[in-house]
Amino acid sequence: MFELQWPWALLMLPLPWVLRWLLPAADPAPQAALRVPVIDDFDHDGGSAGMASLRPWTLLLLIVGWLLLVLATARPQWVGEQLQIPVSGRDLMLAVDLSGSMQVEDFSINGRTVNRLTATKHVAQDFIRARQGDRIGLILFGRRAYLQTPLTFDLQTVNTLLLESAIGLAGKETAIGDAIGLAVKRLQDSDGNRVLILLTDGANTAGEITPLKAAQLAAEKGLRIYTIGIGADEMIRNSFFGKQRINPSQELDEETLTAIADQTGGQYFRARDTRQLADIYRRLDQLEPVEVETQTLRPVRSLYIWPLAAAVLLGMLLAAANVIGRRGGP
């Protein structure tokens, strides 16, 4: 429907007539006299007739221009139909390990061998896109933890910054405790359901705070942590002595990750391949269900620019007519 945001502005419509009635008339400007011997040589009606023919149109343009200016001041707008927007009230922080061990290529996507970070990006994209109604943030950690994206509804930006992350960007070591501490700091003022999903393939080897101490702080602040240990249990590596079976996840500290989850009321998951990692994210949707709150939104489109532009155009026409009138016409 059509609405005026400031309808009281229409009270200004009679302002020019009120001012004309209240203010005293201006004294006529003195005219310079020209003495001529014969007045018949001059046209008596040419100039006055031209002005007479111009005045009604000038007055009409002035009236229309004033009406358009008042209408623009009243801020006309078009208000659309009501839209129901689901809101979960959930604030979710995703912490991703960028340490050197994430470059181990023990995952596959569509038959192509990829490293752990590439697999994480591939699976996490769909999880992030499904967070409609949630605020989501991104923490990247290695030797230090960095807030890459604060809590936001802009899921596309979170996805883009995750895809742009690179191994070693935050250092080669792993500061799990610092990543949890940063998440606690960023989520402590949140009013929603606070969740941290921490994904790593190793053990805590750096940082200012231990993971268990950080988990204790998280539990005190009501932050629930779900930990994901990523990495295969076995892979084949070619060596001088031929093919060898090795465990690429021997440095994964599952005991600490389990303790972090238990201490905060979360859960620990183990992802040995891309399918398991995708299953874990689907299970997280079930563990942290979206609340059924809704918000009502009416899309609003401002229309004041059109009467304002028309008023400016009329002003330009009046100015041009005034210049032409002074020059005596074309």
Backbone angles phi, psi at 108, to 5 degrees: -140, 145
For the chain, list the domains and their CATH numbers.
85-294 (3.40.50.410), 305-330 (no CATH)
Question: Tell me: the pLDDT tens digits for 56-79?
Answer: 777 788 888 889 999 999 988 888
Alpha-carbon distance 57 to 54, whole Å? 6
- pLDDT bin (cut points 50, 70, 90) of residue 49 is very low
Mean predicted lDDT score pLDDT of the chain: 80
CA of 107: how far to CAs of 191, 225, 230, in Å?
38, 25, 10
Name the pLDDT band for 52 (thresholds 50, 70, 90).
very low
Give the tens place of pLDDT for each residue, 90-132.
788 999 999 888 888 878 888 888 888 898 888 888 888 888 7
Total residues found in the chain within this entry: 330
The predicted model scores a pTM of: 0.61
Residue 89 predicted with pLDDT over 60: yes
Task: Tell me which residue of 198, 196, 194, 197 sits closest to 175, measured CA to CA.
Answer: 198
